[in-house]
Amino acid sequence: MIPTQTANLQLDSSGRLKHFLTVEGLSRELLVKIMDTAESFASVTEQTVKKVPLLRGKTVVNLFFENSTRTRTTFEVAAKRLSADVLNLNIATSATSKGESLLDTIRNLEAMHVDMFVVRHTDSGAAHFIARHVAPHISVINGGDGRHAHPTQAMLDVFTIRKYKNDFSKLKVAIVGDILHSRVARSEIHALNTLDVAEVRVIGPKTLLPAAVESLGVSTFHNLEEGLNDVDVVIMLRLQKERMSGAFIPTEHEYFACFGLTEKRLACAKPDVIVMHPGPINRGVEIDSQVADGPHSVILQQVDHGIAVRMAILSMAMRPDLEASAGDRS
């Protein structure tokens, strides 16, 4: 069970970031500060020496109980660019695979004097559980837990949107696909609404939308062309087949026929629309290659921005004395 007072768990006594478990409940000011801090780190990738010494002497443990490529590697790159030491725990060969409890694994790593855990887990609430039980000096970042949340993905997505669409208050954003099983969708909806976008739309078959999804502050559409009409941003989602316990769609071919993003369907959106996808992309299932590689796509830019955003979150959680060097933006 996920605690109801997560915001209090995430912030220290001064209201600064201690853990980053979900965007739900965090203030607009804090989300903007994360983006501003990320902006100040974006230029690091252009330097000859792509490092800053902010977290020198700190140790970050990537504790991934679920397969990942983009999230784990971008966290690793982000931590190393902040000059932290990084330990990637191979769960398949760790003591956890031999029956050691999650809490015992944490205690043993704590004994090595580490400073942060980046956690991905199949169970919703796993990162919250760890955050409630770690030593006071350790920070916990949620790298994705079950169907619940993927807060750093949401932050890199809104950061990407801000790069191309400066004023959130005028934007119509469409999230398309498997909303039901997507932790990314939930985090994005919370982040977008906190940032006061004009409208968040979710588009998909009824079988892939949660019951009472409108309570999250979204408009629902079951027709892709109607849902894309006049939108500024399209976020495509992967079919989460590993989390499906039944037949939610007839076939992938039929799904693409109804909900796959093609150039013709994208023409329903605004002329300057941007297309996003958290990855990995299933071409010909969620999105056509001409769109994924086309002029409206900012999918690769999302990966690049993910490094800067995760640098921001790592530094803010482990160095709460740091302030964003970039000016306030909205």
Whole-number Cα distances in Å, 300 to 34, 153, 262, 308: 21, 13, 18, 14
Q: Which two tokens mark 187?
A: 């985090």
Q: Which two tokens stand for residue 43?
A: 């230029």
Write down the residue that tokens 């230029």 correspond to.
43
71 is in an annotated binding site: yes
Annotated ligand binding at 132? The verdict is: no
Ligand-binding site membership of 207 (annotated): no
> By the 8 A CB rule, do 145 and 183 touch?
yes
The answer to whether 280 is a known ligand-binding residue is yes
Distances (CA, A) of 11 to 54, 59, 132, 279: 20, 21, 12, 30
279 is in an annotated binding site: yes
Distances (CA, A) of 262 to 171, 219, 225, 247: 22, 22, 10, 24
| CA atoms of 118 and 293, how far apart (whole Å) | 31
* Beta strand extents in 122-228 (DSSP E only): 139-145, 172-176, 199-203, 219-221
Question: Phi/psi class of residue 96: alpha, beta or left (left: φ > 0; alpha: ψ in -120 to 50)?
Answer: alpha
Residue 278 annotated in ligand binding: no
Round to whole Å and give the CA distance between 217 and 130.
Answer: 29
Return the half-sphere exposure (C-beta side, CA atoms, 13 A cut-off) of residue 158: 33
Q: Is 165 annotated as a binding residue?
A: no
Q: Is 133 annotated as a binding residue?
A: no
Compute the distance between CA of residue 298 and CA of residue 296 in angstroms, rounded to an integer: 7
- 246 appears as a binding residue in the annotation: no
Say if residue 58 carries a ligand binding annotation.
no
Torsion of CA 52, 55, 60, 66, to 10 degrees: -50
Binding positions for carbamoyl phosphate are: 70-71, 120, 150, 153, 279-280
Binding positions are: 70-71, 98, 120, 150, 153, 183, 238, 279-280
Binding positions for L-aspartate are: 98, 183, 238
